[in-house]
Amino acid sequence: MHSRTSSRRIGHLAGPMLGGMSQDVAGGRSVFTERAASIAKIERVPLREVWRHEAHNLTTWLEQNIDVLNEVLDLQLTNVEREHSTGSFSADLVAEDSSGGIVVIENQLERSDHDHLGKLITYVSFTDARAAIWIVAEPRPEHVRAVSWLNEGSSSDFYLLKIEGIRIAASPPAPLITLIVGPSAEGREVGEAKKDRAERYNARKRFWTQLLESAKTRTRLHASVSAGEYSWVGAGAGSRGLSFNYGVTQHGSSAELYIDRGRGSEAENEQIFEALFANKAAIEEAYGGELSWERLDGKRACRIAQRFDRGGYRDEGAWPDISDVTVDAMARLERAIRPFLNQLSV
């Protein structure tokens, strides 16, 4: 189901252009004279003067004139039922779309409020509605945002409409219905991105929880660190700006010494890195293998790391093995570097 932003708008109406042709006897030519066009203005009519009662008047009118919503929303609503039971509540209107999906409609002759929004969501959940339409006299910004949010993450489509009463000159009152917010491809993309981010954060937190528990059996370095949602967790190395960090990606992990003493510390960071790099052979011998020495030219920080490609937070079945090798690397890295950190004069 999709929607296009649209509205039934009635603008100024011009009457017929009245004019006539007359003969300029003296000049021997024909000229047109034209009377001014007749233009009427739209007048707003209080909604309570058009529909005195929300349920008895507006809902009944919509039941009999559902085509006005079809025009605004580019839908094909049929089989409209009034006061449809949804558990212990009753939806104002329930209709079917062109494919037989349920569409619930909630009317409100006042400013939008939490009560009606809550009812609408309840009706949708109870009926498994494919779409929900909320018609209000004045949409609050908070509810515009709430409906947009619902469209980002819900399997149902939500529409928020503004209804006004208008007349032209002495005509009977008529409805002016405007789509304020509805479902869109862009909103769905935003929703998918948010869902992916939430799943990513959740997976990383669960990954760190089990890794940190495993780490406690090998080293106390990260014993007081709590599992977070980001791509790394770290513990101070005993010198300002130096930390032993675990890192994780979708399909990789790492153990590293990260060197960053803050803004304007590029030269100091590099000095620490070079002091350790001067002992590269001794550190790698104590570690038991080669390390990645990353000066990170052009960036403020430096690092000394060991990376693994056995899996990451997307590979939950391999988490015990990933944690085992990464924690082991961290324990060996700290033992290998610690004597040289204690000798730093920076």
> CATH no. for residue 261?
3.30.1460
pLDDT reported for residue 56: 83
Task: Tokens for 151, please give them.
Answer: 């469209």
The pTM (predicted TM-score) of the whole model is 0.60
pLDDT reported for residue 4: 42
Task: Tokens for 170, please give them.
Answer: 């002495």
Query: Are the C-beta atoms of residues 19 and 35 closer than 8 Å to each other?
Result: yes
pLDDT reported for residue 190: 82
Task: Please check whether residues 161 and 247 belong to one and the same domain.
Answer: no
Query: Are the C-beta atoms of residues 94 and 124 closer than 8 Å to each other?
Result: no
Among 187, 213, 244, the domain-final residue is 187
Task: Please check whether residues 171 and 43 belong to one and the same domain.
Answer: yes
CATH, residue 173: 3.40.1350.10
Is position 147 within any domain? Answer: yes
Residue with tokens 């769905």: 188
Task: Please check whether residues 207 and 176 belong to one and the same domain.
Answer: no
Q: Which residues of the chain have pLDDT under 70?
A: 1-37, 84-87, 346
Is position 1 within any domain? Answer: no
Q: What is the rounded distance in angstroms from the CA atom of residue 61 to the CA atom of residue 14?
A: 29
Count how many domains the chain has: 2
Helices (H) and strands (E) in the chain, counts: 9, 16
Tally of CB atoms within 10 A around 162: 17
Among 187, 208, 223, the domain-final residue is 187
119 Rama sector, left if φ>0, alpha if ψ -120 to 50, beta otherwise:
alpha
DSSP 74-124: T---EEEEEEEEETTEEEEEEEE-TTS-EEEEEEEEEE--HHHHHHHHHHH
Task: Please check whether residues 183 and 215 belong to one and the same domain.
Answer: no
pLDDT reported for residue 37: 59
Is position 231 within any domain? Answer: yes
Task: Please check whether residues 156 and 261 belong to one and the same domain.
Answer: no
Is position 193 within any domain? Answer: no
pLDDT reported for residue 192: 80
SS3 assignment for 219-281: CCCCCCCCCCCCCEEEEECCCCCEEEEEEECCCCEEEEEEECCCCCCHHHHHHHHHHHHCCHH
Domain that holds residue 107: 37-187
pLDDT reported for residue 306: 98
